Amino acid sequence: MTGSAEAVVGYLAELYGRRLPVRVRMWDGSTAGPSDGVAITLRSPEALRYVLWRPGELGVARAYVTGSLDVDGDLYDGLRRVRHALGRHRPRITPRLAATGLRLIRGLGATGTPPPVPESEARPRGRRHSPARDAQVISHHYDLSNEFYALLLDPSMAYSCGYWTSDDSSYGVADAQRHKLDLICRKLDLRPGSRLLDIGCGWGSLTVHAAREFGASVTAVTVATEQHSFVTRRLADEGLTHLVDLRLSDYRAVLARAAGGYDAVAAVEMGEHVGDDRYPAFVSGLHRSLQPEGRLLLQVMSRSRRHPGGGPFIERYIAPDMHMRPLAATLALLTAGGFEVRDVHALREHYARTIRAWHIELERRWDEVVAMIGEERARVWRLYLAGGSLSFEDGRMGVDQILAVRTGPGGTSGLEPTRVGWDQLRPAAAGHGPTAAAGHGPTAAGGHGPTAAGGHGPTCTGGAAARTGDGAMPPRR
């Protein structure tokens, strides 16, 4: 039985200028497409209504998260196969094809009023990047449930790109996160008594690591109430309250009073929430907060100027108001704000591997996730993690650690002449956190693994164009 399914498959071929590797099953039981194709099920006419009223990524995402559209098997694998088949091809929306699509939908009985917007879609109010709206946006994603994030993440509760230094099957995301935290602390030259400002501290992974392992005195800042409650308990349990000043505050209020009070500042995947227009003021505040020869470590995501917010799905369901820019633009903003950029460490493949590990853990504990946050939000996370891993894997997004310094009198930096010591990695304690199912350990697609595997250590991106001339550190010896 092909009927309506064949009509949909044929229309997709016209739209993209090629047959897609998909097998479509309709709500009337008809099927069409290659037998080995990615199996897509349209469970009701509502799936097409979502696409009719919001053509493109957002309409498809709404259909998926509500369950009116489904993908059999591993969503990551399905998305990867379709994306690779399409390459750079984009749908050709001509007046003729638009009219054909409307006739098809009408013929399938899928026209009608717009379907309801899914409950899990964000609806922030107020002026963009005002403190009040920023608090809503952060709460939408980060206040979902501490228990949910504890289920998904490793015991350190690090919700950012890890640093994968081994392809051994026993090496997991907990090890990669510990090595990432070590790497950050060493780049910042933390030692007992160092004053660290951790902006956007999350659930306290860097804050706790810097205080417990390096003896740093940390000011930790979050605007998420659930995170603040979690870190408060964590510090008490760890016996670290004497080393950490935890603040529930907008970062702007903290930077306004920081004036040279810190030896080091870290912002790990927080700057994306600042906003494009406000980024120069953010950089100025970071610069003022450091004493001369103080160090800044930004771990920041990047992408092209197309869809700087990550695309319609991310902007509505995950991180409304987020703004990413090309790496070179961030480096230019840091330089314009008075910093000397000393090192750029590309971690793109590491993020593909980190997110894949989270996705594997999500699927392994799917029933628990659904019971905890509901099926719709669980499907949001499945789509987010599957798509996010692919975005880093195929180079549409990047992530980098940028080390910069507020130079002292006469241009002194206080930095060591080489990177020796940054990669003195300590073995993580046994039994930490989730690893990939069946002990295989997540790997980047194609078995390539992280750039750090094989003892290569940190690399600078793209030669001179990715650094800042004489300010770049010499090659590691």
Number of domains within the chain: 2
> What percent of the chain is modeled with pLDDT above 90?
68
Would strands 217-222 and 244-248 be described as parallel, antiparallel, or unpaired? parallel
Q: Does residue 207 lie in a domain region?
A: yes
Between 440 and 373, whose confidence is greater? 373
Q: 226 and 353 share a domain?
A: yes
pLDDT above 70: residue 453: no
Query: Mean pLDDT for the chain?
Result: 87
pLDDT in tens, 276-300: 999 999 999 999 999 999 999 999 9
pLDDT in tens, 139-178: 888 878 899 999 999 999 999 999 999 999 999 999 999 9
Q: 25 and 161 share a domain?
A: no
Q: 151 and 59 share a domain?
A: no
pLDDT of 469: 33
pLDDT of 446: 36
Q: 75 and 189 share a domain?
A: no
pLDDT in tens, 242-273: 999 999 999 999 999 988 899 999 999 999 98
* CATH code: domain of residue 322: 3.40.50.150
pLDDT of 454: 37
- Distant-in-sequence, close-in-space partners of 107: CB < 8 Å, separation ≥ 6: 7
Q: Does residue 132 lie in a domain region?
A: no
Between 344 and 94, whose confidence is greater? 344
pLDDT of 461: 38
pLDDT of 275: 87
pLDDT of 465: 34
Q: 370 and 287 share a domain?
A: yes
Q: Does residue 416 lie in a domain region?
A: yes
In angstroms, the Cα distances linking 222 to 30, 38, 56, 134, 253 are 51, 41, 35, 12, 11
| Phi, psi angle pair for 405, to nearest 5° | -135, 145
pLDDT of 430: 42
Q: 87 and 156 share a domain?
A: no
d(CA 163, CA 209): 15
pLDDT in tens, 195-236: 999 999 999 999 999 999 999 999 999 998 999 999 999 999
Which amino acid, 28?
D
pLDDT above 90: residue 458: no
Among 135-139, 161-165, 445-449, which stretch is predicted with the lowest mean pLDDT?
445-449
Among 92-96, 326-330, 365-369, 399-403, which stretch is predicted with the lowest mean pLDDT?
92-96
pLDDT in tens, 300-322: 999 877 766 688 899 899 988 88
Q: 378 and 456 share a domain?
A: yes
pLDDT band at 16; cut points 50, 70, 90: confident
pLDDT of 67: 97
Q: 193 and 62 share a domain?
A: no
Q: Does residue 127 lie in a domain region?
A: no
Q: 253 and 327 share a domain?
A: yes
Q: 100 and 150 share a domain?
A: no
Q: Does residue 460 lie in a domain region?
A: yes
Q: Does residue 119 lie in a domain region?
A: no
Indicate the residue among 107, 123, 155 that finishes a domain.
Answer: 107
Which tokens sit at 345? Answer: 């460490």
Mean pLDDT of 117-142: 88
**Residue range of the domain that includes 417:** 138-471
Q: Does residue 190 lie in a domain region?
A: yes
| Phi, psi angle pair for 142, to nearest 5° | -90, -20
Q: 157 and 102 share a domain?
A: no
pLDDT of 392: 95
pLDDT of 2: 57
Q: 36 and 149 share a domain?
A: no
Q: Does residue 98 lie in a domain region?
A: yes
pLDDT of 426: 66
